[in-house]
Amino acid sequence: MHLHLFDKQVYADRRQVLKQAMARNGLIVLMGNEDSSMNYKDNAYLFRQDSTFLYYFGLDTPGLAAIIDTDSGEEVIFGNELTLDDIVWTGILPTISEMAAMAGVSVTKPYNQTEQYIKRATAAGRQVHILPPYRPENKIKLAAWLDTDQAGLAQFISAKLIKAVIAQRVIKTPLEIAEIEKAVNISIDMELAVIKHTRPGIKEYELVAKAHEVAIANNARVAYPAIITTHGETLHTHYYGNTLQEGRMVLSDIGAENAMHYGGDLTRTFPVGKSFTTRQKELYQVVLNSMNHAITMLKPGVRYKDIHLAAAQKLVEGLSAVGIMKGDAAQAVEAGAHTMFFQCGLGHMLGMDTHDMEDLGEQQVGYTDNLKKETTIFGLKSLRLGRELEAGFVLTVEPGIYIIPELIDRWQAEKKYTDFINYDTLNTYRDFGGIRIEDNFLITESGSRVLGKYLPKNLNEIEGLK
C-alpha cells in the first residue's frame, strides 16, 4: 500500500474549518467506503474511497469511518488492525494509528466502536450529522447504528453539514488545482493517444484500450467509464463494439483520476479518416464558436445558467447559418427549440468527482436557495451547474450538437418548433452523429484559465493530428 496524502496540516486545517462551521452542533459521522464484491465475496470492484472522507482525512483504504465531535473538538478514526491471516494475503501494511497520524489524527478505535460513539450521542439527545449515503453497505450500517431503517436515515442527513462541506470543497486551493491539472494533463495524453490511433476498420474498444493504457501508465485510472463512440448523438453510450468507418466521426469523452483522486474530463470529436467532411466541418465550427463564446463569459459573478443559454444562442445562430434552424435565435432559445440539438447542460463542477460532490445533491452544489434547478426542460434539467461563479471554482465547458433521429421523428410528428427548425433540411442530417468539445477551467479573480497543457481543438489542428 502506498498512501498518497497532502501534508497532515492540510487535513487538520480542513477539519478545523468544518468544526467552526458546525460549532457546538453535536457529532459529525463521515463514512469511508469498503471493498464491494463484484460477483463473489473476494472478487471486489476496484476500491474507491468516499471523496468527502478523502477531503478531510486523506486515507485511501477500505474499512474506515471517522467522527468529529463539534462540542469537544475530538476527532476519532475507526478501523480494524490486520490479523495474521490478513498479513498472509496483503503483507505488512501501516497500522490504523500510523495512518491516522498521517492525517493529523491521534485517536483511533476499533471499527465496531463507531456504533458505541453514535449511540452514546443519541442517548444523550445530541445531534448526529451524516451526509447522504450512496453505498448500500453504509446505509445498512448507519441504519443499525442510528436505530432506524434505511428510509429513516433521511432525518439524520444534515442540511447544515452538506452546506458546510460544499462551501469548503467547492473552492479549490492551489494544492488541489495542481492535482487537478496533473489529472487533466494525463487526460490530454489519453485523448491524443486515442486520436492518433483512430483509423477506419478498427473497433471502438481498441480506442478505449489506448485510453486505459495511458491512464495506467501514469499511475492513474479512468475517472468514469470512457465514452468513445462513432455514435456521438448518444450522450453517454458505453457500447464499444462498432467498427470505425471512413466518413464518420469519433466522439471521445474521457478523463483520468490521478493517485490523489482528482480528475480531468475532456472531450474531442474528430474524423475516423484524415479529414472531416464539409458538413462535419460546418457543424464542428458551430460548436467551437459556441464554446469560445462561453469561455469569454467565465468570470466571478456571472451565473453559469446564463452562460449555458448564451452558448445555446450561439449554437442556434450557427445552425441557422447552415439552414438547419431559422428565425430569431434568442426567441428560439427562449422557446427551447435549440434542445433538438443540445439536450444536455453546458458543464458541471469538477474536482475529486467528475460531477463534483454530486452525492451531496445537484441543487445544493450547482444552485442556490435563490436559484432552483429546472427539472422538466431539456438542457436545463441536465444543467448541473447554474449558480454564480466564484474564484476557485473548477468546471467544464462542453457544448455540443447531437442529431437524434428518434427525437426528430417525435417532434416533427408533433409539429414542434416549426417556426425555428427546418425539418426538411434536418432530415438530410439524420445519420450525422454528434459533436462535443470539452475543456476544464479554473475561475480566477478576473476571469478564467484553461487547465492543463494545450490540447488542439481547431479544425485544422484536429486534422493535423491524424
Give 110-120 pLDDT, tens digit per residue. 999 999 999 99
Taking 70 as the threshold, does the pLDDT of residue 1 lie above it?
no
- Per-residue pLDDT tens over the stretch 147-163: 999 999 999 999 999 99
At residue 393, the pLDDT reads 98
Residue 12: how many other CB atoms lie within 10 Å: 14
Distance CA 2, CA 259 (A): 10
Taking 70 as the threshold, does the pLDDT of residue 2 lie above it?
no
Residue 439: how many other CB atoms lie within 10 Å: 22
C-alpha dihedral (321, 323, 327, 329), degrees to nearest 10: -40
CA 298 to chain centre: 19
Q: What is the mean pLDDT of residues 347-354?
A: 98
Q: 352 by DSSP, 3-state: which?
A: coil
At residue 432, the pLDDT reads 98
At residue 87, the pLDDT reads 87
Share of the chain above pLDDT 90, in %: 97
Q: What is the mean pLDDT of residues 306-330?
A: 98
pLDDT-derived band at 3, boundaries 50, 70, 90: confident
Distance CA 351, CA 170 (A): 8
Distance CA 386, CA 230 (A): 30
Amino acid at 114: T
At residue 246, the pLDDT reads 98
- Per-residue pLDDT tens over the stretch 441-457: 999 999 999 999 999 99
Share of the chain above pLDDT 70, in %: 100
Task: Give CA angle at 69 (367, 12), nearest 5°.
Answer: 75
Taking 90 as the threshold, does the pLDDT of residue 317 lie above it?
yes
At residue 238, the pLDDT reads 95
Average pLDDT, the chain: 97
- Per-residue pLDDT tens over the stretch 168-209: 999 999 999 999 999 999 999 999 999 999 999 999 999 999
At residue 190, the pLDDT reads 98
The CA distances from residue 367 to 29, 67, 189, 348, 358, in Å, are 25, 28, 33, 11, 12
Pure H helices in 297-401: 304-321, 329-335, 362-366
Pure H helices in 83-173: 84-90, 96-102, 113-123, 136-145, 159-169
Taking 70 as the threshold, does the pLDDT of residue 244 lie above it?
yes
Taking 80 as the threshold, does the pLDDT of residue 351 lie above it?
yes
Let me know: does 383 contact 405? Beta carbons within 8 Å: no
C-alpha dihedral (226, 352, 129, 364), degrees to nearest 10: -80
- Per-residue pLDDT tens over the stretch 50-106: 999 999 999 999 999 999 999 999 999 999 999 988 889 889 989 999 999 999 999
- Kind and range of the H or E element at 207? helix 204-217
Global pTM exceeds 0.85: yes
